[in-house]
Structure 1
Amino acid sequence: MHINLHLYIETANLINTDNRTHKYKQLIKYIYIITMAKIKIETPKGDIIVRLYDDTPKHRDNMLKLVEEGFYNGTLFHRVIKDFMVQGGDPDSKNAPKGKQLGAGGPDYTIEAEFTPTHFHKRGALAAARLGDEVNPNKESSGSQFYIVLGEKYNQGQLKQMEKQMKQNQETITFNDLVTYYKKEIMEMRKNRDRAGLQEMQERLMKEAKEICKQNPVGFSAEQMEAYTTIGGTPFLDGEYTVFGEVEEGLDVVDAIQNVDTDRADRPTEDIAMTITRID
């Protein structure tokens, strides 16, 4: 997409001084959005227009590369869960017979996680699928599989409870990391049956874990709270899966896909094939 940036900057400079900073920021944000790469996902239910974020470049570039290669053409939305998400991008889904279990296919590489606080699992978000933490502790993304978020709306109380759980989990993980770091000393105390030393060590590490977590607080931003209470989403996936784009047009199509009948493996009983092209 070609735009006249000089014209936009000149327009910003004409805005009155009192309001210039706010308007300028809005203008820059607008320029940032309209220059993002866009793709079109064609399906039997209609078309979905998605813009890819520039600040998740590894995921953006990989998606565009695969689109240009025609990788996705003929693949299916192979996993659909109502009020949660619709998932596609498995190359094994091309011409897959009815009833075949899908979801394990992809290119022979993964993509480094690109977590950005401003990108989260609101309704319409595009995110990368991945294997679970037990085999993928760095949360690296699948080389091709993606999902579009649907989710549901949450109230403030539910989100506050989630925040509380997030903080508890953070403290537990941090504490366990510290225990691993001091494993040699702890094992020596156990060997010597030094109960007092172990108790003192536990209290010290718990306190240290809390201090570390205070310096790196977790929780929902005002923008997240607004989105999850108004349009909905899947807040429990934030920080777990990379969000690298969002639906700009065609959420009604995504809704149509989520409402199809599925089998026990969440595969639609009717094949919903896709063709993806770049349109910017």
Structure 2
Amino acid sequence: MITRLFFALLILATLSGCNSDKSTYALISTEFGDMKVKLYNSTPQHRDNFIKLAEEGFYDGTLFHRVISGFMIQGGDPDSKTAPAGQSLGMGGPGYTVPAEIGALHLKGALAAARTQNPEKASSGSQFYIVQGKPVTDAELDNIGQRAGRPYSDVQRQLYKELGGTPQLDFEYTVFGEVVEGLEVIDAIAAVSTNPQAGNRPLSDVKMTVKILN
């Protein structure tokens, strides 16, 4: 399975244009461990914006303020740096949005831009989420692909069934990177206790720092 999955990932990366040798990597550090993420060159506006904010220290001290087990972990709200316990978060940002660059899928480990509802599907200037997701069936993929008018390929189906993810978000949000090391950290954060009345904010703050590696 590992060998087959490895080659499937290579094929998918080639098809999506995300396998450049000159990719930029970032390290998202938390008390649960580090996640090394690869930023996609196929989403240059999101890539460059994330690099800019990280190098400015924008993310340092922010929280993973919305955590839903089996779905995703979300952070990047600057208001979370000083928010008292129990306060709902998710509306803060740098004061601008990023144009949509939709294409890559929401497999486990996908780094994607959060957004509010808007016709252009423009992304939040800073908030992002990392997919945990769950295994997906062919029937689910059939339904999603039919609704979107974009059927999934055999390779994409294999990846979703073996890795898991959140295909219901495909074609709606911009995926601009992926976790290449530290998938277990996603699971650890997703397992923390949260307060549903505060937008699924963890009961104990999960802080992050973000560093660009190259």
Contact 2:24 2:39 in 1 (8 A): yes
Segment drifting more, 34-43 vs 139-148: 34-43
Q: Measure how far apart 1:78 and its partner are.
A: 0.2
| Counterpart-to-counterpart distance in 2, 1:54 and 1:245 | 9
For the residue of structure 2 that corresponds to 1:228, the secondary structure is helix
| Counterpart-to-counterpart distance in 1, 2:183 and 2:97 | 28
Instruction: Output aligned runs, 1:175-214, within 5 Å.
Output: none
Q: Which runs of 5+ in 1 are unaligned?
A: 1-24, 168-217
Q: Which runs of 5+ in 2 are unaligned?
A: 1-9
| Counterpart-to-counterpart distance in 1, 2:208 and 2:155 | 32
- TM-score by length of structure 2 reads 0.88
- Counterpart of 1:164? 146
| Counterpart-to-counterpart distance in 2, 1:275 and 1:225 | 34
For the residue of structure 2 that corresponds to 1:165, the secondary structure is helix
| Counterpart-to-counterpart distance in 2, 1:88 and 1:32 | 26
Contact 2:148 2:171 in 1 (8 A): no
For the residue of structure 2 that corresponds to 1:122, the secondary structure is coil
| Counterpart-to-counterpart distance in 2, 1:31 and 1:238 | 17
Give RMSD over aligned pairs: 1.9
- Counterpart of 2:213? 279
Q: Aligned pair 1:66/2:53, yes or no?
A: yes
Q: 2:29 aligns with which of 42, 60, 77?
A: 42
For the residue of structure 2 that corresponds to 1:219, the secondary structure is coil
- Counterpart of 2:163? 231
- Counterpart of 1:120? 105
Q: Aligned in 2, Cα 1:77/1:31: closer, same or farther, shift over 3 Å?
A: closer
Q: 2:124 aligns with which of 142, 150, 159?
A: 142
- Counterpart of 2:87? 100
Q: Measure how far apart 1:50 and its partner are.
A: 0.2
| Counterpart-to-counterpart distance in 2, 1:73 and 1:140 | 24
Q: Measure how far apart 1:155 and its partner are.
A: 1.6
- Counterpart of 2:183? 251
Q: Deviations over 1:206-258 (max 9, x none)?
A: xxxxxxxxxxxx22122321111111101111110000000010110111000
Amino acid in structure 2 at the alignment position of 1:106: G
Q: Aligned in 2, Cα 1:84/1:36: closer, same or farther, shift over 3 Å?
A: same
| Counterpart-to-counterpart distance in 2, 1:44 and 1:34 | 30
| Counterpart-to-counterpart distance in 2, 1:87 and 1:32 | 25
Q: Aligned pair 1:222/2:143, yes or no?
A: no
Q: Deviations over 1:104-132 (max 9, x none)?
A: 0001110000012xx11000000000001
- Percentage of matched positions with identical amino acids: 51
Say which structure is richer in strand: 2
Q: Aligned in 2, Cα 1:31/1:155: closer, same or farther, shift over 3 Å?
A: closer
Say which structure is richer in helix: 1
Amino acid in structure 2 at the alignment position of 1:239: F
- Counterpart of 2:7? none
Q: Measure how far apart 1:31 and its partner are.
A: 10
Q: Measure how far apart 1:84 and its partner are.
A: 0.3
| Counterpart-to-counterpart distance in 2, 1:105 and 1:82 | 23
Contact 2:18 2:41 in 1 (8 A): no
Q: Deviations over 1:129-182 (max 9, x none)?
A: 0001xxx11000000000001111112122223333334xxxxxxxxxxxxxxx
Q: Deviations over 1:75-99 (max 9, x none)?
A: 0000000000000000000021100
Q: Aligned in 2, Cα 1:231/1:275: closer, same or farther, shift over 3 Å?
A: same
For the residue of structure 2 that corresponds to 1:93, the secondary structure is helix
Number of aligned residue pairs: give it. Answer: 200
Q: Where has structure 1 moved over 6 Å in runs of 4 or more?
A: none
| Counterpart-to-counterpart distance in 1, 2:108 and 2:136 | 12
> Which structure is larger by alpha-carbon Rg, 1 or 2?
1
For the residue of structure 1 that corresponds to 2:195, the secondary structure is coil
- TM-score by length of structure 1 reads 0.68
